[in-house]
């Protein structure tokens, strides 16, 4: 008997990204015949809705993946390292939303608008890039194709939801405490496991993830290394500064680029982006039209504006890039990869 659809598993189903994955599978009408929801023991037993049906969340273990076609992982790198190979052993294709496999040379790191063809050489695991990387490469790839790309300098303004549900609650609680003149103790940001924590409400924290020996943070190095891998440009000059700001959802990025071609105008860049896949151009200074995180929540696209030519270098430009970090930055890109696998005939 022919199946009506696929057996899909979501690992980390009760987390901020897992919830969005479930919602995105439903919104996209992805061909799901069976949906298995998995989590840690702590969250098991909860119930989630999918297409009007209540599904009980189960504890994730190796045998959970028997008969699964596609497994979407977003439960932290440690879980992925243990369970993703177990899922593959049982015949599943894993789309992993952690940093566990991103820089593994045997694992494709994919943003469908940029390097969909890399899916063709997967060995069972496909890595979903970091949220701040995804939105940037979606905007930069069409520019690279048209004019070449030499250099990228990015500063990010990242929402607290990128640090998980606890960080969202911390922002809300701190804002309330400050406005009511109550005392509070920061416990989550910038890095929960670090010894020092700082206020995020009405503040900006120039640290996301742990510091590396070179003075950059792990988040910054993720952006640098992942961009080179996704765009197949090991020679690209790129630097990043990643900052956490008191916004719930939606990452923003100020990006400086240098292109190969001389004599390019800001209009040329806009013309390339206005028809680019997954991009919405919002750029009209006369109408104060530009992307903002509050407007991108719940939307799958990457929004680009404030495009202008540098005042000193002929081949340099500045852009402002905004996207919902839980959707294009995580859940939607994962489901989009699953859609691409189907389109390319890579799901048995």
Q: Which residues belong to the annotated binding site for phosphate? A: 102
Peptide bond into 197 cis (omega under 30): no
Catalytic site includes residue 131: yes
Q: How far apart are CA 82 and CA 99, in angstroms?
A: 13
343: which 2 tokens?
């389109």
8 Å CB contact between 131 and 325: yes
- Annotated binding site for NADP(+): which residue ranges? 14-17, 42-43, 161-162, 183, 325
The secondary structure of residue 64, as a DSSP letter, is G
Q: How far apart are CA 8 and CA 30, in angstroms?
A: 10
8 Å CB contact between 12 and 75: yes
282: which 2 tokens?
């919002």
Catalytic residue among 7, 122, 242, 251: 251
E strand spans, 106-250: 125-127, 151-158, 237-244
103: which 2 tokens?
């820089």
- Annotated binding site for substrate: which residue ranges? 158, 244
Q: Residues with Cβ < 8 Å from 6, sequence gap 6 or more?
A: 30, 31, 32, 33, 34, 69, 70, 347
Largest distance between two CA atoms of the chain = 66
Catalytic residue among 122, 131, 242, 296: 131
Q: How far is CA 88 from CA 3, 34, 103, in A?
A: 21, 18, 18
Segment holding 309, helix H or strand E: strand 302-309
- With tokens 């979606």, the residue in question is 138
The secondary structure of residue 15, as a DSSP letter, is S
What is the total residue count of the chain? 348
Q: How far is CA 180 from CA 177, 205, 276, in A?
A: 5, 22, 46
Q: What is the DSSP pairing of strand 53-56 with strand 47-50?
A: antiparallel
Active site residues: 131, 251
């Amino acid at each position: 008997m022919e199946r009506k659809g696929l057996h899909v598993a979501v690992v980390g189903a009760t987390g901020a990204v897992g919830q969005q994955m479930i919602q995105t599978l439903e919104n996209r009408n992805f061909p799901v015949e069976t949906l298995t929801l998995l989590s840690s023991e702590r969250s098991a037993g909860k119930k989630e809705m999918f297409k009007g049906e209540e599904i009980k969340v189960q504890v994730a273990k190796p045998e959970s993946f028997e008969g699964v076609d596609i497994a979407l992982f977003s439960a932290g790198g440690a879980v992925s390292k243990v369970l993703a190979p177990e899922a593959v052993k049982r015949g599943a294709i894993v789309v992993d939303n952690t940093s566990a496999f991103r820089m593994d040379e045997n694992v494709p790191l994919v943003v469908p608008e940029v390097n969909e063809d890399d899916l063709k050489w997967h060995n069972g695991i496909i890595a979903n890039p970091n949220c701040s990387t995804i939105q940037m490469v979606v905007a930069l790839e069409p520019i690279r194709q048209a004019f070449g790309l030499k250099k990228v300098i990015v500063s990010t303004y990242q929402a607290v939801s990128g640090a998980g549900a606890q960080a969202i609650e911390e922002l809300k609680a701190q804002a309330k405490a400050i406005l009511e003149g109550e005392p509070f103790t920061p416990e989550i940001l910038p890095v929960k496991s670090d010894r020092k924590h700082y206020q995020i409400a009405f503040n900006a924290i120039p640290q996301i993830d742990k510091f590396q020996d070179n003075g950059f943070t792990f988040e910054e190095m993720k952006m640098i290394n992942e961009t080179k891998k996704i765009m197949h440009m090991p020679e690209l000059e790129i630097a990043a500064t990643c900052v956490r700001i008191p916004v719930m959802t939606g990452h923003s990025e100020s990006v400086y680029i240098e292109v190969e071609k001389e004599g390019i105008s800001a209009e040329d860049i806009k013309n390339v982006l206005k028809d680019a896949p997954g991009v919405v151009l919002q750029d009209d200074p006369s109408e104060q039209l530009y992307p903002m995180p509050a407007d991108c929540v719940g939307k799958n696209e990457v929004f680009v504006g404030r495009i202008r030519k540098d005042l000193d270098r002929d081949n340099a430009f500045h852009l402002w890039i905004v996207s919902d970090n839980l959707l294009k930055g995580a859940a939607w890109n994962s489901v989009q990869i699953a859609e691409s696998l189907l389109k390319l005939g890579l799901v048995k």
